[in-house]
Structure 1
């Protein structure tokens, strides 16, 4: 009887969680990443908030149960392109930055909206500042992305891609 009750509860919770996720839009204030970077604006803050939410899994939990500032009301929408999650390609990205070219660095440039004519500058800027981006082999994604946006903000051409 106890096994049947546990199984029934698990199935009900799974069904409820799945149905909630199907219509869960989240919100601009959803997840711990948004709490940590509250009041900040710009792409770097949004990337760091999203990375925090992804790495801790709290955004999914919050959307499932309506906690962490997440909303389960409304309709899912998509307002533009998505930046590549650098943490998923960190090894390839660091190798490409070291070389100054490659698929991973190109994918990051494209996901940031860097125009084709500005991509060589983007790649050379990252390449020439490899030690800033990767001060150690233990550099975190957050450190690398923050440093990348700082470098871009300090360049008169690349700054337009950080807004």
Structure 2
């Protein structure tokens, strides 16, 4: 069995230079470039899962993974928006304010005035109802970065 896995890994390394969307990013996509067969896709996915490289790659933007624009993992941002939903809504609707500036800083926004203007112009798509959640607000805001 070890010989088969080794043979599949070597075949993947010497094959063409494209990754398969089924297996995603991570060490498996780096090692097994040609994932044209089910066996190679399974090997790539198994490599990603057992090495833990896919999770690391997603959070760091390495291993053929793109770092997401989603800021759900930013605990400070989540807590701040959750605790300041009403104030943030007022600031976004006016296009300025301390709460909006803090959110921009927590999201590492470089051009705060432009960012604030975009959010103000799209207020109704960010605060879609009275019952909108802070996670939904953050995800909506991230689209305008």
**TM-score, normalised by the number of residues in structure 1:** 0.44
Bigger relative contact order, structure 1 or 2 (CA pairs below 8 A, ≥6 apart): 1
